[in-house]
A and B are shown apart, each in its own frame.
Chain A
């Protein structure tokens, strides 16, 4: 196993941190912002559901699940790129 230089470590961590911030931003929108406007969104119909209600019953949840599988893939890609992924 080759030793990482300090710069490589810093860059790997920077990329990891950016990915975390991107995902937490999406998380923040679907956890809080969307539900703050539930009353307004409810005026819109989505396959019969009022949209504000739909987002709390299913919409946000679907986003979270998809997001986590993507996050796992993306973080692994970063680790592979910097050669810090675990050996299989």
Chain B
């Protein structure tokens, strides 16, 4: 079947296509609910949810296969801003956002909110400093910009290195997440889940490159946002907070703050359960003092600047039809991301209130241990080690410091705590899978494209023909994916740690070379190389040093309380200093480069790379 993937009729039909798709997904959800009522088991429903959605993505991926360079690298530059916004939102929101965020807020209170602020506000930097100019440039990849703006193979190579370090760190976390969810929903071992997840990811990207990833990401966004919001709306209505809990949960926060001293939040646990913790942090009360405030703003800064430096996000804005569309598309991206992020604290709040408020039927704190242990969801999640009950003071009553949990169960188990049918849990599993797969796809594509376009075509073999280039791109995709899965199956770091590191690596190496490439005409090649090498090198050294204070790296105490989640602050300062000093010590870029920068700054006219070729 020949299918039209670009051009006016396809673009005009997009709202209809995805409207039908959304309706179909909701119908599937209804069908599952009916099957559950008819007595189909919970396991089967989980398998059907995850299996059905992956088949749909694979179908889109296969249909949108291509052999054209423009379609493979930048989706033919024909993605309308609203749809690119949805795709970016899926690209952006990882398994960590979907599964771990509400749980993090639940456990760590205000300190964790730095992720919410940091992972949204970064888009202001993307829109004002980068996206429109990179789109005008007309590059295929982020290193393509660096290589053309500064000239020379070495600058391009440095950008490839930073991209690979940051994206590979990130992708292992995503493949781990797909493995965890697949393992749980399909009831297979974790290692098998990892390879199964990878197969799903590759089917979406291998045949159609950016074009296929774009249209599967839109589909994945719809699944993940529906899966995140339906349980929240449902729970809110069930608890009498009305249909828009995001606007009405102030009262619930107030009630939690009243209850906290009564039930004794903050008392340490008597016993310890490995991998699990008890709630000891206040819900909405920030820690006092300048150090806590400093910790908050430095984490916000790392997440924001990292956002604006991550190549898999920046390259999404290469796919819009115009510079103006790239700009509006950033606004739409943030809007779609906002829908999930402003709901996460509401979910954390409701979930906590229903556990601790003695006037609610769902409360467990203050109940007798026997009564709590008889609950279905306590038994189920207890059996796989995600929660535990230990009667520390042996009074037979469950206290807040006797309830141990893994934060991830806030999203995964809240529907069951609230007594919602299992079909909701199946939906949540499909949503988490969509979130992790879409991010992994974007990251793998960013890496494979940089290696095939920048390293292979631009540096090693500039005469390679199209067919060979695209074949290389696909082989690299499989190889990098397999490497990621191999590392993921070794379970090296927690999901959140690896995600924060990726942001810090990206900001250390790429932020200033990209921004100053547009905003400072004087910036030159030696400066950019110094900025990338210096930033990545110093950032990496600092990460190793704070992680291993006893080793030879020469750092006994972290500077200013900057721990391993915040090493990007050190890296980016080094990057700025190196880039400015070296630039000023060497000659200004030539006339042609300066004219190129002038052209980048106005939307009108041909793309820079298109005009050069």
List the interface of chain A (C-beta within 8 A of B): 1, 4, 9, 12-13, 16-17, 19-20, 23-24, 27, 30-32, 35-39, 42, 45-50, 52-54, 56-58, 60-62, 64-65, 67-69, 71-72, 75-76, 79, 82-87
Contacts and interface: CB of A to CB of B under 8 A. Distances in A.
B297 A65 contact: no
6 nearest A-B residue pairs (beta carbon) = A48-B250, A56-B113, A68-B331, A53-B284, A57-B345, A84-B602
Contacts of A47: 250
B128 A23 contact: yes
A1 B605 contact: yes
B327 interface: yes
Given A17-B519, A84-B602, 9 more contacts: A12-B601, A24-B128, A27-B121, A35-B117, A35-B300, A39-B286, A42-B284, A57-B345, A84-B604
Most chain A Cβ neighbours within 10 Å, of B132, B301, B604:
B604
B124 A67 contact: yes
Q: Summarize A's interface: helix, strand, loop or mixed.
A: helix
B338 A53 contact: no
B334 A50 contact: no
Contacts of B334: 64-65, 68
Nearest to B287: A39
A78 to B, nearest CB: 10
Interface residues of B, number: 53
A86 B322 contact: yes
A86 B110 contact: no
A20 B308 CA distance: 15
Interface string B468-482: 000000000000000
B116 interface: yes
A40 to B, nearest CB: 10
A71 B128 contact: yes
Interface in B123-161: 123-125, 127-129, 132
Most chain B Cβ neighbours within 10 Å, of A16, A30, A48:
A48
B124 A53 contact: no
Interface in B475-504: none
Contacts of B519: 17
Interface stretch (B35-43, B251-259, B418-426, B538-546): B251-259
A32 B301 contact: yes
A57 B341 CA distance: 8
A76 B327 CA distance: 9
B232 to A, nearest CB: 14
Interface of B: 110, 113-114, 116-118, 120-121, 123-125, 127-129, 132, 246, 250-254, 257, 284-286, 288, 293, 296-297, 300-301, 304, 322-324, 327-328, 330-331, 334-335, 338, 341-342, 345-346, 519, 598, 601-605
Nearest to B289: A39
A68 B330 contact: yes
Contact of B604 (A1, A35, A58, A60): A1
21 contacts: A9-B601, A13-B601, A19-B128, A27-B125, A31-B118, A31-B297, A35-B114, A37-B293, A46-B250, A49-B250, A50-B284, A54-B250, A60-B120, A61-B120, A61-B341, A64-B334, A68-B331, A72-B328, A84-B603, A86-B603, A86-B604
Contacts of A42: 284-286
Contact of B123 (A38, A48, A64, A84): A64
A3 to B, nearest CB: 11
Given A48-B251, A56-B110, A65 B338 contact: yes
Nearest to A21: B128
Contact of A69 (B114, B331, B345): B331
Nearest to A4: B602
A36 B293 contact: yes
Most chain B Cβ neighbours within 10 Å, of A4, A72, A83:
A72
A13 B518 CA distance: 11
Contact of B602 (A32, A79, A87): A79
A61 B124 contact: no
Contacts of A76: 324, 327
Contact of A85 (B257, B286, B293, B324): B324
B327 A71 contact: yes
A18 to B, nearest CB: 11
A56 B349 CA distance: 14
A22 to B, nearest CB: 10
Most chain A Cβ neighbours within 10 Å, of B125, B252, B301:
B125
A34 to B, nearest CB: 9
Contacts of B252: 48
A71 B293 contact: no
B345 to A, nearest CB: 4
B342 A31 contact: no
Contacts of A83: 604
